[in-house]
Amino acid sequence: MSEAEILFEVKEGLGLITLNRPKALNALTHGMILEMEKVLPGWEADPSIKAVVLRGAGDRAFCAGGDVIGLYREMRDNPSGTLRRDFFRDEYIVNRRIYRFAKPWISLIDGIDMGGGVGLSVHGSHSVASEKFLFAMPETTIGLFPDVGGGYFLTRLPGALGTFLALTSYRLKAADAVWAGIVDAHVPSARMGELLGALGVADLSGPDANRKADKVIAGYASDPGLPTLPALMPEIDRCFSAESVGEIEAKLKKQPGEWAQKQLAALLKLSPLSMAITLEQLRRCANRSFEDTMTIEYRMAQSCMRPDHDFFEGVRALLVDKDQKPKWTPPTIDAVTPAMVEAHFQPVANDLFFE
């Protein structure tokens, strides 16, 4: 028998979850999401479990994102299937459970943390990154948008940083993620095991459990080095605070220097429709609750699951055929109409609401 894709264990009062698809960089499948939703309510209610610790198997990744190839294959082979509906719905329910979890939720991120993986880590009470940490929200590269609560956490980052990360898929290492508040602390990979052991023997009870967990983690944290973002923030704010994708591109064209031209080149490769809906997502979610954000993102996700949407062309070009030549519809940002964007924000038959 093949080993389970996700492992659950209770040890020393900790509920341990291990994402167990190391060859696939622990990409999140629907089955893994459903297993989490089965286990987590019981752990939250169980007084013998003081905290949850989430980690990824192998030495490369925490979680590289959702299993979007599975969604592509269903669209191709079984157009009437329900995975494209249920995957996002169940994933967002788990994201919300993590956000509202009544006990410390501690993600030990010893490698790649992207897309759906960020949804499992950033909404918890504590996220700890090693020197192998690599963050990105790369959804726009495949014609999607930064979901899993991206509209909530990205809009709460400094200045226009969230818009920049959402549109460009720019990658951050630990020092920049700590500076931006995307992760809480840097702990060297070699000390992650020690930290886990210390959490096991620590008293994490009571209403100040999160503060107690802070103290334990601080005992193993070290300086991740100098962040690069502070020096870039003036340019990021100048260019990515614009009102439209077209204006952002125009500002980058006028901005001197290699950095701006590199970002412009990255944007010009992306789905114009994906960028437009992403900017609108961030605008609409900036001052909304987490639950409202997830409802908005579910509607967007379902619109992106139409067979003719850029999402499937992006997955085909980058992950299936790997020709790296997606044919976006429409092909330019000028051709994206307000109606095309607005269609992504309409209620859907299986709408997602939280009490």
Q: Mind telling me the catalytic residues?
A: 66, 116, 139, 147
Q: Which helix H or strand E contains 30, and what residues bound it?
A: helix 30-45
Residue 255: count of CB within 10 angstroms of its CB: 15
Q: Which of 156, 145, 90 is nearest to 123 (CA)?
A: 156
Q: Which SS3 state, helix, strand or coil, does residue 343 take?
A: helix
Is residue 152 a contact partner of residue 129, using CB atoms and an 8 Å limit?
no
Residue with tokens 């080095």: 225
Distance (Å, rounded) from C-alpha 32 to C-alpha 28? 6
**E strand residue ranges, 149-198:** 185-186
Q: Which of 179, 14, 144, 158 is nearest to 66 (CA)?
A: 144
